[in-house]
Structure 1
Amino acid sequence: MRLSPLALGLTLATASASAQEAAFSAMDAVTLDKVQVQATRVRGVAPFDLPASLTVVGTTANRPGVQLSEMTQTIPGLVARDRQNYAQDTQLSLRGFGARSTFGVRGVRLYTDGIPASMPDGQGQASHFNLLGGDRIEVLRGPFSALYGNSSGGVVQLWSQDGTDTPQLRAEGSAGPDHAWTAGARVLGRQGTVGYNLSVSRFETDGVRAHSAARRDSANLKLDIDLGTGGRLDLVGNFLDMPQAQDPLGLSWAQVQDDPTQATPQAAAFNTRKSVRQSQAGAVWTQDLTDAQQLRVMAYGGQREVIQFLAIPAATQANPLHAGGVIDLDSGYGGADARWSWKGQIAGKPLDITVGGNLDRQRQHRTGYDNFVGSTLGVRGNLRRDERNAVENLDGFAQAYWKFAPRWSLLAGLRYSTVEFTSRDRYIVGRNPDDSGRARYHDTTPVAGLVFAPNDTLRLHVSAGRGFETPTFNELGYRADGGAGLAFELQPAISQNLELGMKWRAQAGHTLEAALFRADTDDELAVATNSGGRSTYRNVGQARRQGAEVASHLALAQDWTLDAAYTWIDASFRSDFLACSGTPCSVPSTPIRAGTRIPGIPAQQLFTRLQWQPGAWSTAVEAIGMSSVTVNDQGSERAPGYGLINLELAHTWRLGEGTLRAWTRLENALDRRYIGSVIVNDGNGRYYEPGPDRGLWVGVRFTR
């Protein structure tokens, strides 16, 4: 009998769990996670007992700690690709959501210490995640992501460690290929009722490719204050300064074959680059009103400044409607969230209810300029765009967790979201008309999940929900018909999500989690035209993302552990539509047939890590596999699949009251050439961003 990968994943997971259950039938109850995961907003319930695919990983590893992708490889369903291009940030997608983003993160919600790192339109940046100050990363996948509102194909949260009663100091540094280095320090402690966590770090590199040098300075401060009588106040502030990250741009396949370390000639000619400065502060107040009731109020605000020089030819900018080749964004943003929780009983069974709402707002001053003055390229020229844009959301939500039988529990939620975009044009010159306008989207997203606990070591769950994803301001920025103004005719994509999963934990430390999932989307967004250095978007009908994911942690023998994560996903358009082929293209004419793969999503990915740690020494070998991925809607080009091997060796010394750990990693030990990430639907056919060759990293970490 033939089994599809979807059926095979569940069959193997169930068979393994059943076999292990027979071996551990006489065990005592398993000790579950001590960490209280925040992703589903349920108090006092371990993630093991929730009907959701939820993974928690630590942030301390033998790695430089520069990119989110370094810490998340053991999480199935998540693709986090280091572009080796710090002007464009990590490429992040969850179960296929967010894969079309050409820069930053969209379609996936980001949070730091409970404070949004995604804007109300769904566009976010992971660059200001300070991993040195972090304690853990939580990744939520599947239907319950809808509890976070717009553009929530998944949720990634970074949580900083609380202050400790005993002061701690941690200093670390690393060095690697291409003159890359990191240095950072963190102090933890507590003074009376105030705990503190302050971390600062710097990263510099000349870049794997030509014209890809970057510097990044980051700082994060968290204060946790015990207010007494059941009250707590968390104050969080962070800062990011990336003064000039060079952008080597993507390569065509011919350029990759010729020299994967090169930058495109346009990158050098226009000195393509990006500067980012961001500061943010927030406060979270939690108060126990009674033994059964709790109030939580969060407020935050921030400022983000971005200047980016693009490689748009001067002749293209001769069009009076063109916005120029230099983007200058000055954004102020903020918001508030309030929720009330109650723990009690109904029909004599435990019940947990949360009701709340949130408001988020972004104000953006967007200007555009020519990227030339006379014959000099890569400098700021004449003003070509001047807009005051705003986007805000106002949401209300409610959820309930009910353990209605000894082995059964139900988690259900409902969220109503409204998202409004407003643009006021201040550049009305000659043939360039007034482009002002507004668009308003709203939707209700219900979700529910059921958990069955046949015994202390096994959980089975099923969940279903509705998702809601508006266009971002970048996707609204240009109309497909070439006219002036924003593309306010775009509609939000609506998805129907389903998940079937199991979780198994053994007292010996073994774990196994598996899930089958499907998301059917209406009004999927895709590229409509590529012309004048700009991409426009339109709704193209239906799409489907379905697959299976498995993750395990096994204690093989004394001092030996094996971690593995595997994902299979079939992501395809389910409607025929027309797309652009080549550039310039102002009228889509290439037919895309139903069944064509959605670009940017690998069908399979695998990560394994075998580690031996007999004492002060530890060594590990990692194997990474990624299948080929299409790079355009037509599926006419693709980045080939690859397999990589990484090797790691570390040793720890005790030095009085402190410890010193030295580590070394040989990345891409077999020196394979591969495409690390792709730029989906690039109008110039420069889809490919090559990964680094074999490279040696060394690092030290002192803790006291």
Structure 2
Amino acid sequence: MIARLLLYPLLLLLIFLLPRVLWAQSLYSGYVLDAKSELPLEGVTVTASTGAQAISNENGYFSLAAEGADKLVFSYVGYRTTTMEFPAPDEELRVLLQPDAERLQEVVITGYESNRPLLQTAGALSLIEREAIERFDEGSIVRAVNTVPGVRMEERAPASYRLSIRGSTLRSPYGIRNVKVYFDGIPFTEANGTTALNLLDAANIGRIEILKGPTASIYGAGTGGTVLLEPRRALPGEKQLQSGTTIGSYGFRRHTAAASIGAENSSLLVQYTRQQYDGYREQSAIDRDVLLISSIFTPSDKRTVSANLLYSNLYYELPGGLTKEQFEQNPRQARGGMFSSVKQNASLDLEGINVGLKQEYRFTGDFRNTTALYGLHKFKDNPFNTDYERNTNQEFGGRTSFVYDADLGSIGAAFTLGGEFQRGFETARTYDNNSGIPGSLRTDDEVVAKSGFVFAQAEFELPASFIATAALSLNDTQYEITRLQQVSSGDYRFIRNFEAVLSPRVALLKQLTNKISVHGSVSSGFSPPTEEEILTSDGTLNEDLEAEKGTNYELGIRGFALADRLSFDVIAFYFRLKETIVSRQDVSSVAVFRNVGSTDQKGLEASVGYTLLDEPEQPISLLKVWSSYTYSHFRFDEYQKDEEDLSGNKLTGVAPHVLTSGLDLNTRFGLYLNFTSNYVDEIPLNDENTVYADSYFILGARVGLKRQLHQRWGLEVFAGIDNLTDEKYSLGNDLNAFGGRYFQPAPDRNYYGGINLSYRL
């Protein structure tokens, strides 16, 4: 009885105190995300100041009960430990973890087959990460590529790309030439030397490496440079569906859908994009569908296999060039006259499928092989102002390389040996263009293009933190053109073989500290004409065109300073090119190519970035400024045009000064802001240097909000503006154009906005 009387008061006291105890046990919950990709991080340790701990799940979600906690500490391998002061217990937290500085410095470069960190790579190169592409509307990759020094990308019309690395626009009146492009390590540039980069959508690309100058030691013939594209892939632990829509000025519509599944040993991404644009100018609409299937599997410790399928159906219109007077009067008009772009339905319909398969096999820890095979089929229907082309192209090829790592006493070494081969077969027909309809047959050709090279490279890790590289390649290109019909001259067969040429490269790098390195190199380049330069669009054969040959010298320094807040990369180079190929237009606007002697190209390329603030737990979590600058002192060294001596003139199509700058601001709440500015100096538009495009300064901005909604949904809303300064400028000039039609106007001030939605499975 007495015990029962004592128990009742104790129970009453416990009932009275229990709500107070529960109230003191604060509950902290939220999501932990990668600050760059905004993807959830699984396995993050969350520690309260009271000692209580929790681990984030596969969705990045954590829940932690702690009494009187005044701080939470988030720690994860490879990321900077982050502390959140006085967290709100009843508010869903959003924590962004930044990769630590050492991890950023260990970004691996795949170029030169060395797979070394950037600070240990001797060569002029630039990286364009995924976030740089997402600074813009992703309607094209032009603005993202133009953020790096030494590179200029243009659009003569929407999706009509032209890419120049250190002045290689000189021989590219349209398309991409003298620059080799690879997609996932597989040749994307065809055997005939051309690259249909517009078959790719910006959303297909995960990262871009741009190697500047002759890189023939590893990537074969070429004096312009090499572009390595990495496809988008599903990240480990990523299982989600994504959908997005963007709309903008002048009828811009863009829709994307993707499904991705990523595990430790495999990943699969299926992505579809559709883009439509009515056009700023008359006769400048675009309609493009792209399907990408990107996968990678690791079936064993020794073997990794990746496979990619790219299907693209592209249609875009060609407004044509304008004279200076037409450009000033109405930049939105298309080319007029007897062969007007509207009347002739000047346009290009391109459909293609590209399939690639790559395997890396590791025989031992020191010996490995990477082999890639690909095949493509492409059809082009191209009514032009003065003719009508219809081409079908089938091609196959492959690339293989063996790498052996060895220790030569105290010297570490890596030896690489490999080769590449491509064969393309094209049927090419030209017709009269009767108001956009094929007329009488002019020429009927079959073209077989063969291109191949073998290469060898040796790298040595010498004492005192020196790394020396010596490389050599042997290149060969052949065109076999069979003319089945030509009204004026009948049929014939023409074979042009550009004999094998040795192209060496030597480089030396000295790592001054673990954060700063200097490097220098000497390389030789060999660049045969493309098929389009030998067989012009009007069916004329350019039988006497010779390959370009050049030698490049460069010296550079790159690294980090000021507690890793400052990053810098500076390159000075001197390039001497012989048998320089230039293009001119004849009366029918057909580009005609010829060798003109030599050029002398001196330049400076610099990029710098400074992080003012990098505190994920603060309201403003990131504030960074960056800039890139290009100085080009490019001259014709020897150039005799008929009776006129053009030696000493500025190189056509190259701006002496280009400056691009940006500001990035992120907040802990998911709000972000990007500013990008671009200044381009005046550009000579003809070899005589009598006509120039005016200098221009454009400014763009994008603002958005990224949020993780509960455990599965992710949301991004954004809006942007391009050409905020409302400049009247030409983004794709027609060099040496007949009749003074040099200018291809870019859009004036324009706007866009959109929404992206993701769902984690």
Distance in 2, matches of 1:295 and 1:147, equals 15
Bigger RCO of structures 1 and 2 (CA < 8 A, at least 6 apart): 1
- Identity among equivalent positions (%) equals 20
TM-score (norm 2): 0.82
- Give 2:586's aligned amino acid: N
Answering whether residue 495 of structure 2 is matched by residue 462 of structure 1, we say: no
Q: What is the Cα deviation at residue 538 of structure 1?
A: 1.6
Aligned in 2, Cα 1:534/1:215: closer, same or farther, shift over 3 Å?
A: same
Q: Summarize the alignment of residues 77-476 of structure 1 with structure 2, pairs less than 5 Å apart.
A: 77-86=150-159, 89-144=160-215, 146-163=217-234, 164-190=236-262, 193-242=265-314, 244-265=315-336, 266-312=340-386, 325-372=387-434, 377-429=435-487, 431-441=488-498, 442-476=500-534
Answering whether residue 148 of structure 2 is matched by residue 75 of structure 1, we say: yes
Q: What is the Cα deviation at residue 686 of structure 1?
A: 1.0
Distance in 1, matches of 2:752 and 2:645, equals 44
- SS of the counterpart of 1:245? strand
- SS of the counterpart of 2:422? strand
Distance in 2, matches of 1:176 and 1:29, equals 37
RMSD: 2.0
Distance in 1, matches of 2:754 and 2:584, equals 46
- The match for 2:10 is none
- Give 1:77's aligned amino acid: G
Answering whether residue 571 of structure 2 is matched by residue 553 of structure 1, we say: no
CA deviations 1:180-222 (Å, max 9, x no partner) are 0111122221479542011110110000101111101111111
C-alpha contact (below 8 Å) 1:100/1:680 kept by paired residues = no
- SS of the counterpart of 1:48? helix
Structure 2: gaps of 5 or more residues:
1-99, 615-621
Pick the aligned partner of 2:659 from 591, 599, 606: 606
- The match for 1:315 is none
Aligned in 2, Cα 1:190/1:609: closer, same or farther, shift over 3 Å?
A: closer
Q: What is the Cα deviation at residue 29 of structure 1?
A: 9.3
- The match for 2:582 is 526
Distance in 1, matches of 2:584 and 2:257, equals 47
Distance in 2, matches of 1:82 and 1:699, equals 23
CA deviations 1:354-400 (Å, max 9, x no partner) are 1011111111100011112xxxx221111111110011112100011
- SS of the counterpart of 1:300? strand
Q: What is the Cα deviation at residue 485 of structure 1?
A: 5.8
- Give 1:85's aligned amino acid: P
- The match for 1:621 is 675
Aligned in 2, Cα 1:130/1:222: closer, same or farther, shift over 3 Å?
A: same
Distance in 1, matches of 2:105 and 2:245, equals 31
- Give 2:607's aligned amino acid: A
Aligned in 2, Cα 1:617/1:145: closer, same or farther, shift over 3 Å?
A: farther
- Give 2:609's aligned amino acid: H
Distance in 1, matches of 2:171 and 2:546, equals 17
- SS of the counterpart of 2:341? helix
C-alpha contact (below 8 Å) 1:122/1:150 kept by paired residues = no
C-alpha contact (below 8 Å) 1:437/1:485 kept by paired residues = no
- The match for 2:6 is none
C-alpha contact (below 8 Å) 1:32/1:46 kept by paired residues = no
- SS of the counterpart of 1:336? strand
TM-score (norm 1): 0.88
- The match for 1:320 is none
C-alpha contact (below 8 Å) 1:106/1:151 kept by paired residues = no
C-alpha contact (below 8 Å) 1:64/1:173 kept by paired residues = no
Aligned in 2, Cα 1:62/1:549: closer, same or farther, shift over 3 Å?
A: closer
- How many residues matched? 643
- The match for 2:125 is 54
Distance in 1, matches of 2:411 and 2:240, equals 43
Distance in 2, matches of 1:238 and 1:127, equals 12
C-alpha contact (below 8 Å) 1:29/1:456 kept by paired residues = no
- Give 1:594's aligned amino acid: S
Aligned in 2, Cα 1:299/1:400: closer, same or farther, shift over 3 Å?
A: same
CA deviations 1:316-344 (Å, max 9, x no partner) are xxxxxxxxx10111011110111111011
C-alpha contact (below 8 Å) 2:676/2:699 kept by paired residues = yes
C-alpha contact (below 8 Å) 2:427/2:446 kept by paired residues = yes
Q: What is the Cα deviation at residue 416 of structure 1?
A: 0.3
- SS of the counterpart of 1:85? coil
Structure 1: gaps of 5 or more residues:
1-27, 313-324, 579-588
Answering whether residue 696 of structure 2 is matched by residue 642 of structure 1, we say: yes
- The match for 1:565 is 628
Q: What is the Cα deviation at residue 348 of structure 1?
A: 2.2
- Give 1:446's aligned amino acid: P
Q: What is the Cα deviation at residue 154 of structure 1?
A: 1.1
Distance in 1, matches of 2:492 and 2:222, equals 26
- Give 2:334's aligned amino acid: A
Distance in 2, matches of 1:71 and 1:485, equals 37
C-alpha contact (below 8 Å) 2:318/2:346 kept by paired residues = yes
Q: What is the Cα deviation at residue 637 of structure 1?
A: 0.9
Q: Summarize the alignment of residues 552-701 of structure 1 with structure 2, pairs less than 5 Å apart.
A: 552-558=608-614, 559-578=622-641, 589=642, 591-615=644-668, 616-656=670-710, 657-701=712-756
- Give 1:407's aligned amino acid: S
Q: Which moved more, 1:499-508 or 1:164-173?
A: 164-173
Q: What is the Cα deviation at residue 267 of structure 1?
A: 0.7
C-alpha contact (below 8 Å) 2:723/2:748 kept by paired residues = yes
